[in-house]
Structure 1
Amino acid sequence: MFYLVLAIHVLVCIFLVIVILLQQGKSADLAGAFGGQGSQTAFGPRGAANVLTRITTWCAVIFMLTSIGLTILMQKRTGGHSVLEGTGTTQSTPAKK
């Protein structure tokens, strides 16, 4: 089960990077390069969410769910042990004057 969730997580990560890089920026025209908005509204020219935006949203949701799932599965797999459980604590004594 752990490896299945891990494989889904890695695939979603790669797909999410590709989908984000394919999207056009909010001010991708020449006026946006110099900070001007022209005659656009305050929130930009984007109206309804297009297909890439919806895919990005769903990939982000799947990414978060698989991250939480991997955390839970890894905790069950290791028995909830800490990485620092086997190390001893050292206390330093104050220097004498």
Structure 2
Amino acid sequence: MYTLLLVVNIAVALVMVVVILLQQGRGAEMGSSFGGGARGSLVGISGSTNLLSRTTSVLAVVFFATALALGVVSPTPEGGGTLDELLAEEELRPPTEEPAAAEETEETPAAPAESEVPAPPDAAGEQ
């Protein structure tokens, strides 16, 4: 169920992006409004909605519905519970042994590695 809702949500989002990009902006007809026969007004009421805007509205409703459904049926982490409960459990856990192992490696000096870069010539030999 979760996978199906996720696929539908992503598909609706992609289609909605395409439909929104196909629409003209409100200022697209501004040039024709000064030249004479304007079909709609930039500031006033712009007549009836067209098919693309209705489709956008329907897709938006479907997108929000699937997003809410995904939130309801989403799998919970293994421990379950809220984020506050999970954080409280983390604070109550004893520290692991890993930091102590890291401190031991810092105390012991590492042997210097052999360098592949040749040593510079003596300064006394060059002028």
Same fold (TM over 0.5): yes
The answer for the alignment partner of 1:43 in structure 2 is 44
Name the structure 2 match of 1:23.
23
Contact 2:9/2:67 (8 A) holds in 1: yes
Q: Deviations over 1:38-83 (max 9, x none)?
A: 5737425x21111101100000000010010000011xx2175334
Q: Provide the TM-score with structure 1 as the length reference.
A: 0.70
Counting aligned pairs with the same residue, the percent is 30
Larger radius of gyration: 2
In the alignment, the residues of structure 2 paired with residue 51 and residue 67 of structure 1 have an alpha-carbon distance, to the nearest angstrom, of 24
How many angstroms apart in 2 are the aligned matches of 1:70 and 1:63? 10
List aligned pairs for 1:1-97, cutoff 5 A: 1-29=1-29, 31=31, 38=34, 40=41, 42-44=43-45, 46-74=46-74, 77-78=75-76, 81-83=81-83, 85=86, 86-88=89-91
Q: Which of 1 and 2 has higher RCO (CA within 8 Å, sep 6+)?
A: 1
Distance 1:82 1:71 in 2: 14
Listed as ranges, the gaps of 5+ residues in structure 2 are: 93-127
Structure 1 gaps of 5+ residues are: 90-97
Aligned residues: 82
Describe the SS at the equivalent of 1:87: helix
Greater than 6 Å deviation, 4+ residue runs: none
Secondary structure, aligned partner of 1:78: coil
